[in-house]
Structure 1
Amino acid sequence: MEAAIEQESKTLRRGWTTGTCAAAASKAACLALLSGRFPSMVEVTLPGGQRPAFALAMEEMGEGYATAGIVKDAGDDPDVTHGALIMSRVQRGVPGSGIVFKAGLGVGTVTRPGLPLPPGEPAINPVPRKMIAQAIAEVAGSEYDFEVEISVADGEKIAEKTLNGRLGIMGGISILGTTGIVIPFSCAAWIHSIWRGIDVARAAGLIHIAGSTGSTSETAVELHHGLPEIALIDMGDFVGGMLKYLRDHPIPKVTIAGGVAKMTKLAQGMLDVHSKRGLADLDALARLAAEAGAGPDLVQRIAAANTVMEAFGIAHEDGLALGDRIAALAWQTAAKVLSDPLIALEILVFDREGRLIGRTEFTPSSHSGSLPGSDVI
């Protein structure tokens, strides 16, 4: 993410989603199955009407089937699937069956409810399915009964770097994409993964989830509450993106957990807590310390600290519960977004070692409700 923000002022090359690559490979394989020859290049139509062309990286023809492969180019995005070989094996299907999708090696299978596809289905999302169907229709016309098996070389290994396991997608990666285009360093993919995590938790009947800004706070909140993995949402810097989705898709108990710097930013009203979106204000932190009872010398030392972490260390050495103050104000920021008395909200603040240094109690997140921890305000 740091690299992403540093690249914002540069012109970055866009790439293609796994769904686009699967559609192109399927079209080439279907054409080969029907004509006996693979094309040198294959074009597909994206949801926005664009028609990129792709060269085939592999081709194979056998008795009653054809397989084509395309190497995914994610452009300048640090996508874990960049360079992956996306393959489609096409064969004729049962008359009247339409297009039947199957998960080959390296493509996951849905095992939990709450996702756009029901359990048991290959993890080929709805938009890529439409793109594949359209691509096949361009070469097959009204002949529309095919079995399409999508596979990804080393897909199961690649999936270990994704959230698929947590979402209940087992055996490989998902074939994704809503526009067909990968926009470098886009926030959309991460935010959509947050939403899908919430959907899965709701479908499983969970009444408590925890969104964390990083791995340390996630491990800490998991241990603190004894939560199952399915209840843990990797929200990263996108606190607002998680809260806004929960506002429309509520869960009774929500914990927001994070380190001191990001929770301080949330306390200061920032819903995107990435370091490049605005720095935590140490002068404001010093003023909060003064309101919490810090003397002039301590206030001055906090304001002069190099980092928020150092400021918290200074406060801790002096016996000041600055973490509780930050947690209470962070709760106020988050509660304004949720604004739902049926959602009880809790804030937990952890240090770098995962020690709890600030918290609020679960409190209904009505905008007009009382602020938790008001005794420290």
Structure 2
Amino acid sequence: MGDVSGSDVSGSDVSGAKGGRGAQLKHTGLRPGWTTGACATGAATAAYTALLTGDFPDPVTITLPKGQTPAFALAAEELTGAHAMAGIVKDAGDDPDVTHGALVRATVRLLPAGAGVVFRAGPGVGTVTRPGLPLAVGEPAVNPVPRQMMRDHVAAVARRHGGTGDVEITLSVDHGEEIARSTWNPRLGILGGLSILGTTGIVVPYSCSAWIDSIRRGVDVARAAGRTHVAGCTGSTSEKTVVSEYGLPEDALLDMGDFAGAVLKYVRRHPVERLTICGGFAKLSKLAAGHLDLHSARSQVDKAFLAGLAGQGGAGAEISAAVADANTGLAALQLWPALGDLVAATARDEALRVLRGAPVQVDVLCIDRAGAVVGRCAPR
């Protein structure tokens, strides 16, 4: 978790493919790809097979949690008396994934009988340094589903070739530490590289689920750190505004993006004392109007709604009509600056509605493009 650019989603309408290449997603024309967890499983399977037989299966075929059986070509291999290493280049399909093209390596060493499967973080794979994630502090950032996939495949190889299934698997990603700077990992306390991710093994192009999953992990980390005040921010400018206003630490900042609903629904189940929502005036006017997804492709600024707010706030008919005809949300705000506070208060009330009585106080900051606060409301 944390590598938010990689989009791994369950229940996807995809099919298995040979050679590590994804078939087209039905109805979209987009080609899915494979998670770092699927690549790591393939590499570990090939390396353990080579340790037991002397030969690397190339391509190596694995079985994903939902039954697909992709086959991956090996991009690197090394066999000595003590270990075997195999590497697979991650193909993210048509998803704009920062890990696309990364070389995922698994180095496998035999352990004494009864030792089980032990995971290690090699170069480019992160280590967990903060509580709140589904892995203990000090563990390599190899998520539970990929761990289970690798255990299952190690056991299957052992059955086929007479091994005990007791191995150490060291996972590494070439240039992974550098790539990880473009992910959530540093903020979540995963240091030194990327996470080995995936719940289905399949990357779905332009999926929202990885971002939403990272929001949830951000809440978990903040709660585990004892934070009582967190902020859901639509972008880097709003983050800077929140830090300036409240001095919140980095692990209290949630990169909400357009997913206001994801933040609110998760905080409803996992409350914090106070939630600040901060974002551009236009985006937060959508939340005020009842939209929980603020992306421009899925919700639009409702100028008629803003005109109604202006009228309720004391604007005359002429100003209200001008707001309704404004080209943009910020243009509407310039016509009636009191809209800033009105949108903030209405967005807060909408957030409270979604929270359904959860013990969370909410306040809202609306900002302009420069980060200046143009609307605010008190916590309630």
**TM-score, normalised relative to structure 2:** 0.91
CA distance in 1 between partners of 2:359 and 2:58 (Å)? 59
Letter in 2 for 1:313: Q
CA distance in 2 between partners of 1:68 and 1:134 (Å)? 18
Match of 2:185 among 157, 164, 176: 164
Aligned: 1:183 with 2:204: yes
CA distance in 2 between partners of 1:306 and 1:214 (Å)? 23
Query: 1:258, CA displacement in angstroms?
Result: 0.9
Pick closer, same or farther for the CA change 1:237–1:204 going to 2, 3 Å: same
Query: 1:173, CA displacement in angstroms?
Result: 0.4
Match of 2:329 among 308, 312, 326: 308
Q: Relative to structure 2, which stretch is displaced further, 250-259 or 306-315?
A: 306-315
- Output aligned runs, 1:217-296, within 5 Å: 217-296=238-317
Query: 1:62, CA displacement in angstroms?
Result: 2.1
CA distance in 2 between partners of 1:246 and 1:301 (Å)? 38
Match of 2:86 among 43, 68, 71: 68
Task: Give the match for residue 131 of structure 2.
Answer: 113
Letter in 2 for 1:234: D
Please say if residues 113 and 164 of structure 2, whose CA atoms lie closer than 8 Å, have aligned partners that are also in contact: no
How many residues matched? 355
Match of 2:370 among 336, 353, 358: 353
Query: 1:134, CA displacement in angstroms?
Result: 1.2
Letter in 1 for 2:149: M
Please say if residues 271 and 358 of structure 2, whose CA atoms lie closer than 8 Å, have aligned partners that are also in contact: no
Pick closer, same or farther for the CA change 1:217–1:9 going to 2, 3 Å: farther
Match of 1:333 among 350, 369, 372: 350
SS in 2 for 1:128: helix
After superposition, the C-alpha distances for 1:203-258 in whole angstroms (9 at most, x for unaligned) are 11111100011111111111110000000000111111111111111111111111
CA distance in 2 between partners of 1:277 and 1:8 (Å)? 21
CA distance in 1 between partners of 2:242 and 2:79 (Å)? 52
Higher relative contact order (CA 8 A, sep 6+): 2
Pick closer, same or farther for the CA change 1:10–1:50 going to 2, 3 Å: closer
Please say if residues 33 and 94 of structure 2, whose CA atoms lie closer than 8 Å, have aligned partners that are also in contact: yes
Task: Give the match for residue 26 of structure 1.
Answer: 44
Pick closer, same or farther for the CA change 1:183–1:211 going to 2, 3 Å: same
Q: Relative to structure 2, which stretch is displaced further, 140-149 or 201-210?
A: 140-149
Task: Give the match for residue 205 of structure 1.
Answer: 226
Letter in 1 for 2:132: G
Flag structure 1 segments of 5+ consecutive residues without an equivalent. 364-377
Query: 1:11, CA displacement in angstroms?
Result: 1.4
Query: 1:8, CA displacement in angstroms?
Result: 11
Moved >3 Å (runs of 4+): 7-10
Task: Give the match for residue 94 of structure 1.
Answer: 112
Task: Give the match for residue 366 of structure 1.
Answer: none
CA distance in 1 between partners of 2:173 and 2:164 (Å)? 26
Task: Give the match for residue 370 of structure 1.
Answer: none
Task: Give the match for residue 174 of structure 2.
Answer: 153
Aligned: 1:127 with 2:145: yes
After superposition, the C-alpha distances for 1:137-171 in whole angstroms (9 at most, x for unaligned) are 22112611100000000000110000100000000
Flag structure 2 segments of 5+ consecutive residues without an equivalent. 8-24
Aligned: 1:16 with 2:34: yes
Q: Relative to structure 2, which stretch is displaced further, 232-241 or 296-305?
A: 296-305
Query: 1:131, CA displacement in angstroms?
Result: 0.6
CA distance in 2 between partners of 1:346 and 1:102 (Å)? 43
CA distance in 2 between partners of 1:43 and 1:8 (Å)? 23
Identity %: 55
Query: 1:304, CA displacement in angstroms?
Result: 1.9
CA distance in 1 between partners of 2:176 and 2:335 (Å)? 48
**TM-score, normalised relative to structure 1:** 0.91
